[in-house]
Amino acid sequence: MLILGILAIPLATTLLAAGVSWRPWIGWATAVSSTAVLGLGIWLCVTTLSGSQWALNHSLRADSLSAFMVVVIATVSLLATLFTPRTMRQEMESGITTARYARHYVILMQVFITCMLLAVLTANLGVLWVSIEATTIATTFLVSHRRTDGAFEASWKYVILCSIGIALAFLGTVLIYYAELHATGSVHSSSLDWTSVMAVAHHLDPNVTRLAFALLVVGYGTKVGLVPMHSWLPDAHSQAPAPVSALMSGVLLTVAFYGLLRFRAVAVAALGPTFPRTLLVVVGIASLVLATVMLIAQRDLKRMLAYSSIEHMGLLALGAAAGTPLAIAAVLLHILGHGITKAVLFLSAGEIYYLEGTTEMAKFSGLLARRPALAGIFGFALVSLVAFPPFSLFVSELTMARAEVDAGLWWAVAISLVCLSVIFAALTRHGRQMLMGTASTTDAAPSTLAPSMAIPLVTALVACAALGVLSWPLQSLLAHAAQVVMP
Amino acid sequence: MSATTTTLYGVAATLVQVVLLGLGGPLLVGVMAKVKARAEGRVGAPVVQPLRDLRKLLTKERLHARHASVVLPLAPMVILASTVVAGAISPLVSTHPLLGSSADILVIVYLLLTGSAAAALAGLDAGTAFGGMGSSRAMTIGALAEPALLVAVIALSIQSGTSNLPSIMSSTLTHPDWVFGPSRLLALGALLIVVIAETGRIPVDNPATHLELTMVHEAMILEYAGPELALFSLGEAMRLGLLFSLVANLFLPWGIMTDHTLLSLLLGTVALVAKTLLVALGVALIEVRSAKLRLFRLPELLAGGFVLSVLAVVTGLVTR
Amino acid sequence: MNSTYIAALELAAGAVLVSAVMTLWRRSVRSIVSMLSLQGMALSVVAIVLALHEHEGALFVTGCLVFVVKGLVVPGLLRRVSRLDPRSRESRPLVNVPASLVFAAVLIVLSYVVSSRITGLSPSDATHLVPVGIATVLVGYFMLVTRRRAVSKIVGLILVDNGIALVTFLLTSGVPLIVELGSSLDVLLVVVVLQFLMVSMRHHSDTDRLTEMKGLRD
């Protein structure tokens, strides 16, 4: 029931948004819906601690991992939907959007959220693939929402690259299915379900599984934004409206990563830890290094945030490569912390773009003097992003590094620490240039920030810090969720 | 069945094949010209016109270009001889012609290519501009067609497990389902492209043109006259007949003589004529329907043939 | 019966691959799209032949679905797109046609080598044909990488997808119906989405300039 409720709420909101033309209250309704999903998600976390939940004739299934992902999705989508009325008003004022496109935007946003929820709540690994592919279709028009040359180009690139990548993931899924059929010797109705695959995971043919896992890493890796198929990410994230970027960067990437986590468990069971670990370390390090290089000389604010997403996805891949329960728990905490932080950053960057009319970092300086509240929030979020204590990213990165060293990946840790310190320097420099300095324009008085904007963002940052200081409410949940993907 | 009878029928089949090629080759050229003429709404020359041309040419005096060397008179003989040998040993009427055991598919291919090389040398020999141009074009086409040809040959031999042509044909007779398998059909496509290129038909070359910019084969024989031109043309016509009847036999092997009776010899002859006419008809219709490709578009066509033959090999390996 | 089944399966699978190569060979969008249509139909024949042989109702339904979606609807959509486009030729591919055909031949051999590992697990008449599917996938990727026109990219995407579908049918007689439905609909939706994008871009500015992806850079 709980699972059905979580899926039904955004679905109902979608129908509501489809049924009427755009009004600001619909935006608030989507926020209410996200809040409800968040509540049900937390409840689901509590119930799944004592065992998995099933629904709809065993086609939907929730364990602690799914429940945790529901919470992450709901949190970030709450932040994003809270900004929907504001973004739409701003865009309509400046003539980017009409009521018609605002309606499309709300519908697609809800479809997008529903697809992500379905991806984490389905019992079947094939349906997982279908829903992740469906997010591509839903988000394409969100990326091209602003209807500029750049937006069209970004969404074209996004669809083509993600479809190519996800096709590989489908091939990988099919190969896993083939190996499963071969291991069980018969077709049954629950073939390709997570539980039935895991039941025979130790007997899957190694040759087929190896190829399948490689395809899955490249395929889902495209959607995660891992090298080598990352190039859609900076374009899409920089061209989409801010709430969409927040959702894509904050959760879409990690939902795809959730798929990888599940398949990693299958691959480790069938192949032993070495092959999956090598593959994940390679893509993780490659993504990290690429992000570092691109961040040093970045000039665009939103592209900078996008490359930082690639960096964090690389860190997640390294954490998953270590694969101990501790590492996976840290990966999950990192997913939550990164989701919240990135959402705050993209949303405030959207506001900066609206006020300043550009995202080119060289064009604005002295933000702190001119817009203290907005710049303050942005600055703290940036501090959180570079994993400063007390924010939770510090805890999760530290724990991941520890787990990686324990797993014998000290050299990968060494490389990632070098990259992280370079990124730290680069982001600090970019941040200082934007926030500090004298106000170049002659604004009369420092502008204030509307409470409807400030309150959610500040709350999110406080929550992020609280998670870092006291992670106890999550500890048993994270440990439980990590156990799910232990082979 | 005694060894003598076998040899006797082998000799008979070989003789029939050579005579059939010698007379049938020029007739085939005539038939194709007639079919094209009819399809284009013209009456066209009679079918025996190429034979009449040969007879007329043979009575003329021998004339050589001033700077020509011994290659010029020698080349037509090489072409004719190589074609006659290839035609004698190939399984056309019978699967057991004389020396059929040496009719390896590679032997046939390279006998025919010897003829092509001789023709190219002949084109160069007189030292005129057109001859050299024709030779260089013909060699370009030949070089592009050769990979496709060889790979198609490999595809054919994979299925039967041998590269001996008579054995390929008899094993096809015992496995008729091969003929409609994807490997054989793909190889047929590739071979058709190669045959069209090697015999200089549209869309690769237009046998009826004497336009400087486009002619290939006609440019090579520009310096020939009299009996030597007759030999040259006869050799080329026999080559055409041989290639067509080989393609016909590879893909429709039925009717070929496998035992040793007079009836089957007769049947084999009739079947060969019928099948070859079928192929000629097909090629003539392709010619009518298509325009000559520009020279620099030819690699596309021949690369297509190459891919088809690679496909034939892979599907042959896969489905074996 | 059995030899007819094998012959039909081989012929249909062969047609899938040949039509993939033909899309590299031909230049006019019109004939490329008819090749795709042929490929979709051949693919559905593979599914239906397998379904009849193994008495799988679900696969039969999938086969019919594939016929409608990939044989008729998707090519129909592409035809509409190409009618919008006056310059319906792939005029300057990054790799010229002969070279790409030769490269396709290399890819085909490569796929044969690669897939021997997979097919070794359960050798059967159907799994032997898996290299054909892998080769189609590789040809599709090659098309995506080397062709610049927007329509050609969509064609490449469909080739990849058809190849994967072929592998799926041959290896496992089809994944569970729900997944198959999902993946077929996804293809349809992706094509629709791309078509919408192309149309909006044309209203907005020059499609090909945008799809060559020169605008967004670091």
Is A245 part of any domain? Answer: no
Quick one: average pLDDT of A36-55?
A: 93
Mutate one of B184, B296, B298, B315 to test the C interface: name it (highest C CB count within 10 A).
B315
Cα(A396)–Cα(A466) distance, integer angstroms: 13
Is A238 part of any domain? Answer: no
Q: How far is B314 from chain C (nearest CA, A)?
A: 7
Contacts of C14 in chain B (CB under 8 A): 182-183, 185-186, 311, 315
Of A69, A88, A123, which marks where a domain is finished? A123
> Taking Cα atoms as reference points, which of C2, C4, C10 lies closest to residue C170?
C10
Cα(C133)–Cα(C143) distance, integer angstroms: 15
Contacts of B185 in chain C (CB under 8 A): 11, 14
Confidence tier at A430 by pLDDT (50, 70, 90): very high
Mutate one of C186, C192, C199, C203 to test the A interface: name it (highest A CB count within 10 A).
C186
Confidence tier at A446 by pLDDT (50, 70, 90): low
With b for 16 or more beta-carbon neighbours within 10 A and e for fewer, the A89-128 pattern comes to ebbeeeebbeeebbbbbbbbbbbbbbbbbbbbbbbbbbbb
Residues 6+ apart with CB under 8 A from B274: B255
pLDDT reported for residue B297: 83
- Residues B118 and B78: beta-carbon distance below 8 Å: yes
pLDDT higher than 80, residue A215: yes
C164, C193, C204 member nearest A167 (Cβ): C164
| DSSP structure string for A345-373 | HHHHHHHHHHHHS--BGGG---HHHHSHH
Token pair 């077709």: residue: A187
- Residues B189 and B308: beta-carbon distance below 8 Å: yes
- Residues A432 and A368: beta-carbon distance below 8 Å: no
Quick one: average pLDDT of B52-72?
A: 89
Number of domains in chain A: 2
pLDDT digits (tens, 9 = 90+) for B190-224: 999 999 998 888 888 887 777 777 788 888 888 88
Q: How far is B312 from chain C (nearest CA, A)?
A: 9
Does A85 sit behind a cis peptide bond, omega within 30 degrees of 0 on the bond before it? Answer: no
CB atoms near residue B145 (< 10 Å): 25
Angle at B208 (CA atoms; ends B203, B209), nearest 5 degrees:
85
C15, C104, C112 member nearest B307 (Cβ): C104
Quick one: average pLDDT of A458-480?
A: 89
Contacts of C98 in chain B (CB under 8 A): 299-300, 302-303
pLDDT reported for residue A95: 85
pLDDT reported for residue B320: 64
Q: How far is A190 from chain C (nearest CA, A)?
A: 9
- Residues C136 and C20: beta-carbon distance below 8 Å: yes
User: CB distance A144–C197 less than 8 Å?
Assistant: yes
Q: How far is C208 from chain B (nearest CA, A)?
A: 25
Q: Which of B2-6, B144-148, B183-187 has the lowest mean pLDDT?
A: B2-6
A160, A182, A239 member nearest C157 (Cβ): A160
User: CB distance B304–C101 less than 8 Å?
Assistant: yes
pLDDT higher than 80, residue A361: yes
Instruction: Note down the domain range covering A449.
Output: 273-487
Residues 6+ apart with CB under 8 A from A443: A370
Average pLDDT, chain B: 89
User: CB distance C105–B310 less than 8 Å?
Assistant: yes
Is A408 part of any domain? Answer: yes
Residues 6+ apart with CB under 8 A from B225: B57, B60, B62, B63
Residue in chain A nearest C151 by alpha carbon: A160
What's the N-to-C CA distance of chain C in angstroms? 61
Contacts of C18 in chain B (CB under 8 A): 182, 186, 308, 311
Confidence tier at A170 by pLDDT (50, 70, 90): very high
Paired with A53 in beta bridges are A62
Of A76, A102, A123, which marks where a domain is finished? A123
Percent of chain A at pLDDT > 90 equals 70
Is A171 part of any domain? Answer: no
pLDDT reported for residue A278: 95
pLDDT digits (tens, 9 = 90+) for A112-153: 999 999 999 999 999 999 999 999 988 998 999 988 888 888
pLDDT higher than 90, residue A423: yes
pLDDT reported for residue C213: 60
User: CB distance A153–C164 less than 8 Å?
Assistant: no
C15, C102, C131 member nearest B318 (Cβ): C131
User: CB distance C216–A238 less than 8 Å?
Assistant: yes
Of A108, A123, A138, which marks where a domain is finished? A123
Contacts of C182 in chain A (CB under 8 A): 126-127, 129-130, 133-134
What single DSSP character describes residue B213?
Answer: T
CA distances (Å), origin A6, targets A2, A56, A247: 6, 13, 18
Contacts of B306 in chain C (CB under 8 A): 101-102, 105
Is A64 part of any domain? Answer: yes
Confidence tier at A421 by pLDDT (50, 70, 90): very high
- Residues A249 and A79: beta-carbon distance below 8 Å: no
User: CB distance A207–C201 less than 8 Å?
Assistant: no
State the amino acid at position B117 in one-letter form.
Answer: A
For the record, the structure tokens of B298 come out as 């030819």
State the amino acid at position A388 in one-letter form.
Answer: F
> How does pLDDT run along chain C (218 residues), one tens digit per residue?
577 888 888 889 989 999 999 898 888 888 889 999 999 999 999 999 999 988 888 889 889 989 999 999 999 988 887 777 666 566 677 788 888 888 998 998 899 888 877 777 777 878 888 888 999 999 999 998 888 778 888 899 999 999 999 998 888 876 777 777 777 777 888 888 888 887 777 777 665 655 666 667 66
State the amino acid at position B126 in one-letter form.
Answer: A
Q: Do chains A and B touch (3 or more CB pairs under 8 A)?
A: no
Is A439 part of any domain? Answer: yes
Phi, psi (deg, nearest 5) at residue B94: -125, 155
pLDDT reported for residue A443: 56
pLDDT digits (tens, 9 = 90+) for B247-293: 999 888 888 888 888 898 999 999 999 999 999 999 999 888 888 88
pLDDT reported for residue B184: 87
Is A282 part of any domain? Answer: yes
| DSSP structure string for A130-149 | HHHHHHHHHHHHHHGGG-SH
B177, B311, B319 member nearest C18 (Cβ): B311
> Taking Cα atoms as reference points, which of B35, B46, B84, B47 lies closest to residue B234?
B84
Paired with B164 in beta bridges are B104
For the record, the structure tokens of B68 come out as 């020509």
pLDDT reported for residue A441: 59
Cα(A288)–Cα(B59) distance, integer angstroms: 86
Is A424 part of any domain? Answer: yes
Token pair 């039935």: residue: A196
Contacts of C108 in chain B (CB under 8 A): 307, 310-311, 314
Helix (H) or strand (E) holding A62: strand A60-62
Cα(C35)–Cα(C70) distance, integer angstroms: 11
pLDDT reported for residue B219: 86
pLDDT higher than 80, residue B170: yes
User: CB distance B177–C17 less than 8 Å?
Assistant: no
pLDDT reported for residue C210: 57
- Residues C156 and C140: beta-carbon distance below 8 Å: yes
- Residues A382 and A431: beta-carbon distance below 8 Å: yes
A127, A134, A153 member nearest C215 (Cβ): A153
Cα(A187)–Cα(A172) distance, integer angstroms: 18
Cα(C115)–Cα(B37) distance, integer angstroms: 51
Quick one: average pLDDT of B20-44?
A: 92
Quick one: average pLDDT of A162-166?
A: 90
B182, B310, B318 member nearest C128 (Cβ): B318
Q: Which chains touch B (3 or more CB pairs under 8 A)?
A: C
Cα(B34)–Cα(A80) distance, integer angstroms: 78
pLDDT reported for residue C214: 62
pTM, 2 dp:
0.88
